[in-house]
Structure 1
Amino acid sequence: MKRRDALKGLSALTLSAAVTPVSAATLKPKSVTVKTSNGPVIGQVRAGTAVFLGLRYGETTAPPYRFLPPRQPQPWSKPVKADRYGPACPQQSTPDAYGKSEDCLFLNVWTPEASPKHKRPVMVYFHGGAYANGSGSDPLYDGTNLSQRGDVVVVTVNHRLNVFGYLYLARLERLILGQPGPLAFSGNCGQLDLILALEWVRDNIAAFGGDPGNVMVFGQSGGGAKIATLMATPKAEGLFHKAATMSGQQVTASGPGNATARAKAFLGALGLKTDAEGLKAAQTLPWETLVAALKVTDPVLGSGGVYMGPVLDETILVRHPFYPDAAPQSRHMPMIIGNTRDETRGFQGNNPAFQNLTWEDLPEKLPPNYRVDIDPWRVIDTYRKLYPQMTPTDVYFAATTAGRSWRGAIIEAEERAKVGAKTFVYQVDWKTPKDDGRLGAPHTIDIPLVFRTTAVPEAISTDSPQARRMADLFCDAFIAFARNGSPQTPALPDWTPYSLPERQTMLMDLTPQMANDPRGEERKLFEKVPFIQSGT
């Protein structure tokens, strides 16, 4: 997911001001000190919110600690200023103005009052960008408005991504050593980072006014997929109590065979052999060299850069998140599963190659992008019968959305419904006015609505009155869910949990409404063929 670096170079305090207008009396922030389990930290109070940026929750993962599980920070005694975001994990995109480093295990906290006197709900956000890019310091994730609106504590997290978080070297190492070695956890280090961050929240958030017994995790796109994976990860059990995924699902993880094939392709791109010397070199090369090699063609998908994500490694992850069913460890946990009506317009909606399509274009363009193996003419004929008003371009985006990402969300909701797990499902129908409405309700539209950051220049929602109204609806629903496990608010119709065969879904629009099995015929069309997660 690409971000416009519209606020590059601004200080963290300026970022807060960009989303929350402040009076002249509040321009000079005052400091506040909190004692964490690692040492004292100094945050700043601005416009009624205490902000702590760049809090270290883990030590550096640079060599010789590359590809190894994260480590607790070394304690400190002198107060550390927490007034600047920490760097992001090295990656191919540039997410912000705060740099990239293998020393990237930092998190950020926004709270109405940094005091243990209160026990506020805690909302921990995991950023998107698949498992490859992004950081918790994106201006869209500024927690000021969400914290103030809901009287909640908001946390965002940086962690290891791509090769640094998910390069699976365990099988290659074991073939060399004849037994498991120190790289046994390499395929899921990024997930272990998130677990360490949640352990930090458990141990420290009370000092910031949060309730460690009421932690909600939420994330969009790759962030949602990370959450789905944690819901099946034994080491994460008990660290969070509610979950919300926004256009991000992980039905299955990468198998160890495919992950090994990717590791071989990646090492080959570095000019390294799959022997002891090759593995040693991968642990010491400059990070810039590793990032450049991510462009190698994926040997499983046959296109694009090499995919790296969670691996069914039998050490950290011992089952797929939602296959063959919903992981038992998380069935007791209330969950929100959301998607947008026009997901793929967020990826390709402004690409001229996918505008003004003809019916003759579709049979070739559809299959690579709806990512399931189904006859394209059957898909085209079905959509033309269901929606005769649709243009070929409309059919392209509707079908690729249904097959590519919505399908995974449906599977997760159905598997939870089968075992009676409380699940609330939504679909964003509200169309952004951006680009004359051409994008519809695209991927990422719900981020500025939940965070109430519609005023940030890069927000795909715009800051129109309608966008602010949608932000009220979304933000309040997520706050209600964080507080009591249900997204029900007075502004929404009765939001009943998802069940079969009803498939209750909240259609989020200026006039929200509940619907049973929306787009049911599209669902039936694509469920006749297996859904294979891209990473799998």
Structure 2
Amino acid sequence: MPHLNRRTLIAAGLILPTLARPAWAQGDHPVVATTSGPVRGQIEGDVRVFKGLRYGADTGPRRFQPPVAPTRWTAPAEAFAYGPASPQTGSEPNQSEDCLFLNIWSPGLDDARRPVMVYIHGGAYSSGSGSDPLYDGTRLARRNDVVVVTLNHRLGPLGYAYLARLAGAPFQDSGNAGQLDLILALRWVRDNIAGFGGDPGRVMVFGQSGGGAKIATMMATPVAAGLFHRVATMSGQQVTASGPWNATRRATTWLEALGLTPDRAAEAATLPVEALLQATRATDPVLGFGGLYFGPVLDSRSLPRHPFYPDAPAQSAQIPMIIGNTHDETKAFLGGDPANFELTWDDLPGKMTDREFRIDVAPEPVIAAYRRMYPAYSPSDVFFAATTAARSWRGAVIEAEARAASGHPAFVYQLDWTSPIDGGRRGAMHTDDIPLALDNVIATGSRAQGSEAQPMADRLSRAFVALARDGDPNHPGLPTWTPYDLTLRQTMIMDEPARMEDDPRGAERRLFAAVPYVQPGT
């Protein structure tokens, strides 16, 4: 049977053409028609690059409300530079409430129907953008014949301040506005990506940390159903969302920091954005420490259930999924303090608080258990291992168990490969798999260095590409990767060399399984 590509199906009258088809402009600035209007990109080497493509209207005039599609335009819009990031604290450049933009890297603007890999950035729900050099899609697109997409969306209080119980309409969806931005972006991809050489029926979403958590939340969001077909989360889980009462408590604390009483909540839509961000520094009333947490809310509207509680969401059960973590997650958060590498046994109990564990458990029996499990561990080794297992790793285990129990197991990996930076003492920490999965080990900000970095990037990135292409991450550079079940708990150890292990760190898993888990912040 001949290959049935989109062009032959249109010629046969089996499907109708969409607006998202290339205009086939010549030269170094190809033009593609989209549902909002034509866009002009650039050719960099052999990759077609479109940066700063608008997928939504300016959110400023509709602050705390669902996003809307942009007003159509007729003249080609230049897509040569990244669009603004969502307003946030920190050093992210180029911030604006007009932030609904995405970026595309494609090997060709033809009808090849390539897999589409949409990367959702991390930074919890409060920072970051799709413009980080680590997320550049050039190598992934060029080396694997895929289309890569990154994007920006609303963050912090602009994306997740829950005002529904305080201000009512039109702010009923304010607690999940940032998630609704992501969904609008995926609708744009569905409707337009064919014009950029992509297959709207093979869209993979993948992301690290907050990006993975956003994806897990979308897996339980009804309006996101059908918009993506494969999933990979990297050190980013969302077992539970914030309940409406806790989210309201946080919103009330935030309003107080703004000088507003709850009955004046709607006035937050008129205040300077700088004031909104400054007020997030108020102490979180639920956690009792740190700035205010903003994240998805169980609002019984766009999010009617918790993402992975009490089970894996049925709407996404059939979607092939990778769940990953790194062996030493918390060294990214706690490893910046040199004292944490010099702990004594006397120091250790005072360091292992609920603030570091994020669960309610006494440190002494945990320390005793670790000394039995790993007699050679130093106090600092125990500190990093226990905080990783209790705080960062458990969400990944819970999601893997839920998927296995549903009859649709995920492919699970653990990154053990250690970068030589800092003499290797930072281990395989949170964020280390980003440049590996995106094949960007030489990019600015990459910790993946050394002679083994590129071979590790080849292993992990090709697994992600294989999942995007066929729904199965197996490829010749890995041993056979079998899905995670509740009997063997099969896990791919991403190391040099890669290997499969059954129930790695099983004793740690059993230790913390006895303590109830609630997603930190929720």
Q: TM-score, normalised by structure 2?
A: 0.94
CA distance in 2, matches of 1:488, 1:226: 25
Specify the SS of the correspondent of 2:452: helix
Residue aligning to 1:8: none
Counterpart of 1:361, as a letter, is D
Specify the SS of the correspondent of 1:347: helix
From 135, 139, 154, the counterpart of 1:160 = 154
> Shift of the alpha carbon at 1:353?
3.8
Question: Is structure 2 residue 186 aligned with structure 1 residue 198?
Answer: yes
Residue aligning to 2:102: 107
Moved more, 348-357 or 148-157: 348-357
In the TM superposition, 1:338-353 aligns within 5 A as 338-353=324-339
In the TM superposition, 1:22-421 aligns within 5 A as 30-62=28-60, 64-95=61-92, 97=93, 99-115=94-110, 117-174=111-168, 181-275=169-263, 278-367=264-353, 368-421=355-408
1:480-526 deviation digits (Å, cap 9, x = unpaired)? 11000111011111100010121000000010100110000000000
CA distance in 2, matches of 1:46, 1:266: 45
1:7-50 deviation digits (Å, cap 9, x = unpaired)? xxxxxxxxxxxxxxxxxxxxxx9211111110111111111100
CA distance in 2, matches of 1:50, 1:479: 19
2:133–2:444 Cα contact (<8 Å) kept: no
Counterpart of 1:56, as a letter, is R
Residue aligning to 1:448: 435
1:333–1:422 Cα contact (<8 Å) kept: no
> Shift of the alpha carbon at 1:461?
1.2
CA distance in 2, matches of 1:169, 1:342: 37
CA distance in 2, matches of 1:483, 1:168: 38
Specify the SS of the correspondent of 1:471: helix
Question: How many pairs align?
Answer: 495
Counterpart of 1:530, as a letter, is P
CA distance in 2, matches of 1:173, 1:384: 52
1:332–1:422 Cα contact (<8 Å) kept: no
1:62-85 deviation digits (Å, cap 9, x = unpaired)? 1x3100000101000011110100
CA distance in 1, matches of 2:161, 2:368: 42
From 509, 515, 520, the counterpart of 1:523 = 509
CA distance in 1, matches of 2:100, 2:471: 29
Runs (4 or more) in structure 1 with deviation over 4 Å come to none
1:340–1:427 Cα contact (<8 Å) kept: yes
CA distance in 1, matches of 2:390, 2:224: 30
1:246–1:339 Cα contact (<8 Å) kept: yes
> Shift of the alpha carbon at 1:350?
2.3
Counterpart of 1:258, as a letter, is N
From 459, 463, 481, the counterpart of 2:446 = 459
CA distance in 2, matches of 1:476, 1:154: 14
> Shift of the alpha carbon at 1:366?
1.2
CA distance in 1, matches of 2:288, 2:338: 24
> Shift of the alpha carbon at 1:364?
1.7
> Shift of the alpha carbon at 1:155?
0.3
CA distance in 1, matches of 2:167, 2:156: 19
CA distance in 1, matches of 2:329, 2:236: 11
1:280-334 deviation digits (Å, cap 9, x = unpaired)? 3200101011111110000000000000000000011000011110011011111
> Shift of the alpha carbon at 1:346?
1.3
Specify the SS of the correspondent of 1:204: helix
CA distance in 1, matches of 2:357, 2:73: 51
> Shift of the alpha carbon at 1:450?
1.0
Moved more, 81-90 or 448-457: 448-457
Residue aligning to 1:6: none
Specify the SS of the correspondent of 2:262: coil
> Shift of the alpha carbon at 1:452?
1.3
> Shift of the alpha carbon at 1:352?
2.3
Counterpart of 2:35, as a letter, is S
CA distance in 1, matches of 2:312, 2:438: 28
Identity %: 60
Counterpart of 1:280, as a letter, is A
Specify the SS of the correspondent of 2:41: strand
> Shift of the alpha carbon at 1:390?
1.0
1:505–1:517 Cα contact (<8 Å) kept: yes
CA distance in 1, matches of 2:219, 2:339: 38
CA distance in 1, matches of 2:146, 2:185: 18
CA distance in 2, matches of 1:73, 1:236: 20
2:344–2:379 Cα contact (<8 Å) kept: yes
